[in-house]
Amino acid sequence: MHQHLTKFLFITLGLIPALALALPSDREQPINIEADHAQLDDERGVTQYKGNAILTQGTLRITGDIITFYYDDDQQITKTIAEGNLATYQQIHKAGEDPVKARAIQMEYHAKTQKIYLLGDGYVLKDGDKVTGNRIEYDITKNIVHVNSGPVQIGDKTQQSTGRVHIIIQPPGSKKAKKPAKKATKPAAPKAPAATTELEQKSDVQETKEAEKYPTATTTTHLNLRTGPGTQYEKLGTFRPNTEVIVLTNQKEWVQVRGTINAKPVIGWVSRRYIELNN
């Protein structure tokens, strides 16, 4: 049974490799990380961000209660772990396509072995195709996926499976670009909203609650967004006057904010004197 399952998953590899890919423009963007607390341990080669940690780089967005980076002696990342209930991943891999989404209690990327692990309630969505399992392992080099419904060890706890391995593959024709619909002679009946999974609903609610925790502000003029708190840092873009932003952290005369520039979500630093806090 395991051999048949592995062979079947090999045919559907287009669903998981996306976790290791990205838009070329994303790799050229600065990495922004925000959290309630950050801790650096040079001796162990570990940097850890705790409390609603959010990592963004272009269209890439990773969230977790804790995001931990492990480095070798040459300061190269050997492993990255995002954990929480639930850790999430989202990224656009091809222009014009919907983002690939993934969730798990713990997500791990091992640079040396080139493997990605989704541990505990693993879930991946790409172009309508879905894979769920308690353990999802992707070997980037060999392009092989393993999905398992057995219990997994996360820290000192054993996470039991909530169900069997589940795979949904949309028909090939359903992924093609849809042609514009012809004008109807009669008003079309309103369509029912698309059904969402319980995990999707939890994620949407969690993101909404995250936004509600932070104050908002409005820009008073054209305002440059930078990668760090100072004019010596690279400019990411410019907010228009009267643009609402979410205030994440404060540092003397500079404020880290989250907002939108040219319809793209961005995180960076702006001068405090050119924003007004909203009531």
Q: What is the pLDDT of residue 62?
A: 87
- Residue whose C-alpha is closest to residue 83's, from 101, 103, 60, 99: 103
Q: How many CB atoms lie within 10 A of CB 226?
A: 20
What residue segments make up the domains of the chain, in order of their start? 2-172, 215-277
The secondary structure of residue 128, as a DSSP letter, is T
- Pull the structure tokens for residue 193: 């909203």
3-state SS, residue 59:
coil
Q: Print pLDDT tens along the chain (279 aa).
A: 333 333 333 333 344 444 555 566 666 777 788 888 888 887 788 888 988 888 888 888 888 999 998 888 887 788 889 998 778 888 887 777 788 888 899 988 888 888 888 998 888 888 778 888 888 888 777 767 788 888 888 877 888 876 777 777 767 666 554 444 454 455 554 444 444 444 444 444 444 444 456 789 999 999 999 888 888 888 889 999 999 999 887 777 888 888 899 888 888 889 999 999 987
Q: What is the pLDDT of residue 2?
A: 38
Is domain 215-277 given the CATH code 3.40.50.10470 in the classification?
no
In the chain, the amino acid numbered 49 is Y
In the chain, the amino acid numbered 104 is A
Cβ proximity of 62 and 82 under 8 Å: yes
Rounded-to-integer distance, Cα 88 and Cα 73, Å: 29
Instruction: Specify the CATH architecture of the domain 2-172.
Output: Sandwich (2.60)
Those residues whose C-beta lies under 8 Å from the C-beta of residue 4, and which sit 6 or more positions away, are none
Q: What is the pLDDT of residue 244?
A: 93
Residue 66 CA neighbour count, 13 Å, CB half: 12
Angle at 135 between CA 130 and CA 137, to 5 degrees: 80
Q: Phi, psi at residue 36, to the nearest 5°?
A: -75, -25
Q: What is the pLDDT of residue 221?
A: 93
Sheet holding 223-226, edge to edge: 235-239, 223-226, 264-271, 254-261, 244-251, 216-219, 275-277
